[in-house]
Chain A
Amino acid sequence: MMLLFIVLFPIAAALAILLGASARRTALWAAGFTLAAVLLAYLGFEPGQRGFQMVTSYPISSDWNINFTLGIDGLSLMMLLLTALVMFAAVWFTGEIAQHKHAFYACLLFIAAGALGAFASLDLFFFYAFHELALIPTFLLIGIWGTGKRQAAAWKITIYLATGSFILLLGLIMLYRSMPEAARSFDIRVLQRSAALIPADAQGNIFLVLLIGFGILVSLFPFHTWAPEAYASAPAPAAMLHAGVLKKFGLYGLLRLALPLLPEGAQQWNTLLIVLLLGNIIYVGLVTIAQKRLDWMLGYSSVMHMGYIFLGIASGTLLGTSGAAVLIFAHGISIALLFAISGEIRQRTGTLVMDELGGLGKIMPRASLAFGLAAFASIGLPGFSNFTGEVMVLFGAFRNGANPEYFGIYQIATVLGLWGVVISAVYMLRAYRSVFMGPLPESLGSVTDLRRSLRIPISLLVAMTLWFGFFPQSFVRLVTPTFKSYFTAKQ
């Protein structure tokens, strides 16, 4: 019941807003209640148990064996927590909306509801369908309230994501059909139980289709070009939700479906995946350094950091895979905070070109502190959960087939990945210097600092990432039971 509430309440609130309820207040309450409900679920969750908890199921189609099944394990619980946190912050950060205020908040809630539904669903059909719930709201959010080349960006993200999702759908149908007729099911639990029935020769094809489908959704190199453009044009709350949460759906999908169900397929395509993710880390990383605008730089940096998470997924070790989960969470929070602050800066100064900004630290101390913390987190300084995640991913990947005399592809990928950390330090610190330090341009003299009330969502996000940075065990303890079964099943 708790999960049903978490999934359906934001949708109900969005509909209420569309029908005329007071926009901001309803949205804020809805986000608050959802966050509270997720925290309650967190407290009620029993980490030791294997399998899914709080399962509720309603039959939808008996011919097709589709059920509306909700349930969580440690991994989906952390995804729900991330979504609820970012959703709460995004709604809170939404400032004055000049036109169609109601539609704006309703779109935000729909995106969040789509993510919540996808992460809580145990049925492939709803897992897929909920994710697409965000498609139209994203199109509208960027197209109506966006800035810059909003129209082109909105088209690009919509066509990219629609195509990616459709490829994903084909992959899911192939997965469904690869089972012998009697064992076919859309239920993830059933699929995991009968994973051994998927013939090895079919696994490679299915994994490739899923990798492309999910890869487009997560902006895997070379399918990444939609992301920076869309995030730069989107209004800040939309970018927070999309970059912070919705994009992680693809990674979640790989962790939830591709790894446990198609271990041999994953093995076949691992080399390709590693080459592509190095494209994310190195190539996109260098592109990020070259950016002249803060919003584009953040957009590219979010694409670049996906590379680490992919490295964790490809690592083939328990440590690396758990690290990927930690990093999904940590990156979601840090990128949301970065987009939030950059949105506030754009609203006040009217520009995000880094050369035109400077010295904002003097007049916006709060924004400068929040941005600084998020930037440090994003680089991966110790103490933040990003550090934990990256260390786990890099160690995990290095350990796969480690041989002191010979560097395999995993070891080379790790070494190159370490260079990525340097790259992200370069662009983040340069951005921080040119925006917040140095002389203050005269035209920006009258800029005001963040609203005081924004301290609440900022401290919430920072506290979360610090908590899991200092006590990563509390996170890892939740997700490893899920992943352990993947690796024991293989042997």
Chain B
Amino acid sequence: MTIAAPTLEIAVLVLGVLVLLFEMFADQIDKRTFAYTAIIGLGAVLIASFFLVPPPIELPSTGFWSFYTADPLAIFFKRFALVTSIFVLVMMIDYAPIVRESIHGTTHQSGLGEFFALPIFTCAGLMWMASAIDFVMIFVSLELVTMSFYVLVSFTRRNPATLEAGVKYLILSALSTGFLVYGITWIFGVTGETNLARVAAALANPAVESGPALFGMLMVLVALGFKIAAVPFQIWVPDVYQGAPTPVTAYLSVGSKAAGFVVLLRVLEPFFILPQIERLLVLLALLTLLYGNLAALPQSNLKRLLAYSSIAHAGYLLIGVVCLAGEAIAYYLVAYLFMTLLSFAVLVAVAKQTGDNIEDFNGLARRSPFLAFAMLIAMASLAGVPFTAGFLGKFYIFNAAIAREQTTLIVVGVITVACGFYYYFKVVRAMYWEAPTGDAGVPLSRLSRAAMVAMIAGIIFLGVFPQPILDALK
């Protein structure tokens, strides 16, 4: 049995609509059922993605295929989006009690249904984005993702911090969308095309002026810089990450960022014939690395720390973009998926009991050795200790940088890696060195525990055997 690639997105969309429909008429049943349904449904789509029609060698470039591609990179990131969404939904089930507290509807379950249904739409958007090779398509899928995030970010709206986060995200995101559309207009105006391959062909023609196209590209870069949290478009990140419901923060920091990088890789390809773009990206990477890592040093709130760490990792990924190392970026993103989601999952469990400051993790090793160990692995991987996926990710990125002789980036990279060890190990110190404030254990559902074990296994397995990921990209 084989399936055509676009069926996957359609299946996810149908799943989302069905969940929403049933939710309307099902007042009595436990709303968490919908989350389980969604997890199973997305899992089924994930499995289905391994039975795709092998794409034709020469993809036709007209009609549907002029804005949709099913190349290995696209398929890879569709799976990436599915895995992310599944883990986020698991986290959301754990987070449900906090959502319940914050929403006062007619029943005690009000709002939960939408909370579980919206990520499915986000997932569909992320999957479209992975396949988009036309500016119009990129714009539409990006908007699908952003719209659902508008709602998700401000979901626990009784909390003033969340509300603030929601407003900040809404306004800045809308602004960045404006930049995107404006940029696309310029590029279209110069080349008369929206398809990326044809834009590239048009740009190679010396009769086409590169100045206006470059300006358009700059605008697009602003919009994408916002998505991937690159400096100087990162101002929203700490506040929104801290204020949003934790699973949504995790989703933003993994799903949204990964999709941003895929689009960035695709969009930049035609423009790399222009040398200005490379210099600009090097500057962007340098600023992002330095800002993310230096600003993370004094943080005392773990959620905020992870926000800065997310900026920092965008910096390493940008090194990969500068070197046009698609494989390295994909690998790094997979590592980033596991380690970031794992740290957020532990955060959700611990924050429910004490809070989300680093202090609240004091003595976690005694209160819950398993959670402490999970966090230790996540932090080790984020810092880049060998035998974890995060190390191999950095290894690939810096290998690409050495191959391209980007000396400045390498030197700054060494400094920032050292910073990283400090702020990630701060969490380890709290968990293992400090005495616990109370000695109550941390409750953990069986599903969450299973998900954490899966992520730990993923981090360690990929830290030793990178080959499966490399094969998946071919």
Which residues on the B side are within 8 Å of A132 (C-beta)?
385-387, 391
Asked whether any CB of chain A lies closer than 8 Å to the CB of B272, the reply is: no
Asked whether any CB of chain B lies closer than 8 Å to the CB of A71, the reply is: no
Asked whether any CB of chain B lies closer than 8 Å to the CB of A64, the reply is: yes
**Minimum CB–CB distance for A359 against chain B, Å:** 37
CB distance B387 to A177 under 8 Å? no
Asked whether any CB of chain B lies closer than 8 Å to the CB of A158, the reply is: yes
**Minimum CB–CB distance for A450 against chain B, Å:** 30
Contact of B466 among A61, A100, A128, A167 (CB under 8 A): A61
Contact of B402 among A155, A158, A177 (CB under 8 A): A177
Q: A144-B433, A155-B422, A174-B402 are in contact. Are A163 and B417 (CB under 8 A)?
A: yes
Alpha-carbon separation in the docked complex, A143 to B363 (Å): 13
Contact of B418 among A162, A169, A173 (CB under 8 A): A162
**Minimum CB–CB distance for A137 against chain B, Å:** 11
Asked whether any CB of chain B lies closer than 8 Å to the CB of A133, the reply is: yes
By beta carbon, the residue of chain B nearest A145 is B433
Asked whether any CB of chain A lies closer than 8 Å to the CB of B208, the reply is: no
Q: A169-B395, A173-B399, A173-B402 are in contact. Are A136 and B385 (CB under 8 A)?
A: yes
Asked whether any CB of chain A lies closer than 8 Å to the CB of B236, the reply is: no
CB distance A151 to B433 under 8 Å? yes
Which residues on the A side are within 8 Å of B398 (C-beta)?
169-170, 173
Alpha-carbon separation in the docked complex, A174 to B429 (Å): 34
Q: A64-B466, A143-B433 are in contact. Are A159 and B422 (CB under 8 A)?
A: yes
Say which size band chain B's interface belongs to: 20 to 34
CB distance B421 to A158 under 8 Å? yes
CB distance B467 to A60 under 8 Å? yes
CB distance B414 to A163 under 8 Å? yes
CB distance B376 to A136 under 8 Å? yes
Asked whether any CB of chain A lies closer than 8 Å to the CB of B120, the reply is: no
CB distance A60 to B414 under 8 Å? no
Which residues on the B side are within 8 Å of A155 (C-beta)?
422, 425
Asked whether any CB of chain B lies closer than 8 Å to the CB of A129, the reply is: yes
CB distance B414 to A143 under 8 Å? no
Q: Which chain B residues in 411-440 approach chain A with CB under 8 Å? A: 414, 417-418, 421-422, 425, 428-429, 432-433
Q: A136-B380, A136-B428, A144-B432 are in contact. Are A61 and B470 (CB under 8 A)?
A: yes
Alpha-carbon separation in the docked complex, A174 to B407 (Å): 12
Chain A count of residues within 8 A CB distance of the other chain = 32
Asked whether any CB of chain A lies closer than 8 Å to the CB of B465, the reply is: yes
Alpha-carbon separation in the docked complex, A151 to B421 (Å): 15
Asked whether any CB of chain B lies closer than 8 Å to the CB of A63, the reply is: yes
By beta carbon, the residue of chain A nearest B422 is A159
Alpha-carbon separation in the docked complex, A63 to B395 (Å): 14
CB distance B465 to A166 under 8 Å? no
CB distance A61 to B399 under 8 Å? no
CB distance A128 to B403 under 8 Å? no
CB distance B433 to A63 under 8 Å? no
CB distance B386 to A133 under 8 Å? yes
CB distance A129 to B402 under 8 Å? no
Q: Which of A60, A100, A163, A166 has the most CB of B within 10 A?
A: A166
CB distance A162 to B432 under 8 Å? no
Q: Which chain A residues in 148-179 approach chain B with CB under 8 Å? A: 151, 155, 158-159, 162-163, 166-167, 169-170, 173-174, 177
Asked whether any CB of chain A lies closer than 8 Å to the CB of B295, the reply is: no
CB distance B432 to A128 under 8 Å? no
Asked whether any CB of chain B lies closer than 8 Å to the CB of A135, the reply is: yes
B379-401 vs A: 1/0 string, CB under 8 Å? Answer: 01001111100010001001100
**Minimum CB–CB distance for B368 against chain A, Å:** 14
Alpha-carbon separation in the docked complex, A66 to B414 (Å): 24
Asked whether any CB of chain A lies closer than 8 Å to the CB of B464, the reply is: yes
Asked whether any CB of chain A lies closer than 8 Å to the CB of B277, the reply is: no
A63-81 vs B: 1/0 string, CB under 8 Å? Answer: 1101000000000000000
By beta carbon, the residue of chain B nearest A62 is B467
**Minimum CB–CB distance for B436 against chain A, Å:** 12
Asked whether any CB of chain B lies closer than 8 Å to the CB of A226, the reply is: no
Q: Which chain B residues in 220-236 approach chain A with CB under 8 Å? A: none
Asked whether any CB of chain A lies closer than 8 Å to the CB of B52, the reply is: no
Which residues on the B side are within 8 Å of A159 (C-beta)?
418, 421-422
Alpha-carbon separation in the docked complex, A64 to B469 (Å): 12
Asked whether any CB of chain A lies closer than 8 Å to the CB of B410, the reply is: yes
CB distance B391 to A162 under 8 Å? no
Alpha-carbon separation in the docked complex, A269 to B172 (Å): 53
Alpha-carbon separation in the docked complex, A201 to B421 (Å): 33
Alpha-carbon separation in the docked complex, A103 to B365 (Å): 10
Alpha-carbon separation in the docked complex, A61 to B399 (Å): 16
By beta carbon, the residue of chain B nearest A143 is B433
Which residues on the A side are within 8 Å of B376 (C-beta)?
136
Q: Which chain A residues in 110-141 approach chain B with CB under 8 Å? A: 128-130, 132-133, 135-136, 139-140
Which residues on the A side are within 8 Å of B429 (C-beta)?
143, 151
Alpha-carbon separation in the docked complex, A129 to B395 (Å): 11
Which residues on the A side are within 8 Å of B465 (C-beta)?
60-61
By beta carbon, the residue of chain A nearest B473 is A63
Q: Which of B376, B386, B399, B466 has the most CB of A within 10 A?
A: B386
Contact of A162 among B410, B417, B466 (CB under 8 A): B417
**Minimum CB–CB distance for B379 against chain A, Å:** 9
**Minimum CB–CB distance for A103 against chain B, Å:** 8
Which residues on the A side are within 8 Å of B466 (C-beta)?
60-61, 63-64, 66
**Minimum CB–CB distance for A196 against chain B, Å:** 22
**Minimum CB–CB distance for B377 against chain A, Å:** 10
CB distance A61 to B433 under 8 Å? no
Which residues on the B side are within 8 Å of A133 (C-beta)?
386-387
Alpha-carbon separation in the docked complex, A64 to B365 (Å): 37
Alpha-carbon separation in the docked complex, A130 to B417 (Å): 19
**Minimum CB–CB distance for A61 against chain B, Å:** 5
Which residues on the A side are within 8 Å of B425 (C-beta)?
139, 155, 158
CB distance B414 to A170 under 8 Å? yes
By beta carbon, the residue of chain B nearest A100 is B365
Q: A133-B387, A177-B402 are in contact. Are A63 and B421 (CB under 8 A)?
A: no
**Minimum CB–CB distance for B393 against chain A, Å:** 13
Alpha-carbon separation in the docked complex, A155 to B417 (Å): 15
Alpha-carbon separation in the docked complex, A174 to B432 (Å): 36
By beta carbon, the residue of chain A nearest B387 is A129
**Minimum CB–CB distance for A112 against chain B, Å:** 16
**Minimum CB–CB distance for B333 against chain A, Å:** 17
Alpha-carbon separation in the docked complex, A249 to B430 (Å): 30
Alpha-carbon separation in the docked complex, A173 to B391 (Å): 14
Which residues on the A side are within 8 Å of B432 (C-beta)?
140, 143-144
Q: Which of B398, B414, B417, B425 has the most CB of A within 10 A?
A: B425
Contact of A60 among B365, B395, B433, B464 (CB under 8 A): B464
Which residues on the A side are within 8 Å of B428 (C-beta)?
136, 139-140
Alpha-carbon separation in the docked complex, A174 to B464 (Å): 21
CB distance B467 to A63 under 8 Å? yes
Q: A139-B428, A143-B429, A169-B395 are in contact. Are A63 and B387 (CB under 8 A)?
A: no
Q: Which of B391, B402, B470 has the most CB of A within 10 A?
A: B402
**Minimum CB–CB distance for A247 against chain B, Å:** 18
Interface contacts beyond A103-B365, A173-B398, A173-B399: sample of 8 additional A-B pairs, CB < 8 Å, sorted by A: A63-B466, A100-B365, A132-B391, A136-B385, A136-B428, A140-B433, A158-B425, A159-B421
State the 5 A-B residue pairs at the shortest beta-carbon distance, nearest first. Answer: A129-B386, A162-B421, A163-B418, A132-B386, A143-B433
> Can you name 30 A-B pairs with beta carbons within 8 Å?
A60-B464, A60-B465, A61-B465, A61-B466, A61-B470, A62-B467, A63-B467, A63-B470, A64-B470, A103-B365, A132-B391, A133-B386, A135-B385, A136-B376, A136-B385, A139-B428, A140-B433, A144-B432, A144-B433, A151-B429, A158-B421, A158-B425, A159-B422, A162-B421, A163-B414, A163-B421, A166-B417, A170-B410, A173-B395, A173-B402
Chain A interfacial positions (CB closer than 8 Å to B): 60-64, 66, 100, 103, 128-130, 132-133, 135-136, 139-140, 143-144, 151, 155, 158-159, 162-163, 166-167, 169-170, 173-174, 177
Chain B interfacial positions (CB closer than 8 Å to A): 365, 376, 380, 383-387, 391, 395, 398-399, 402-403, 410, 414, 417-418, 421-422, 425, 428-429, 432-433, 464-467, 470
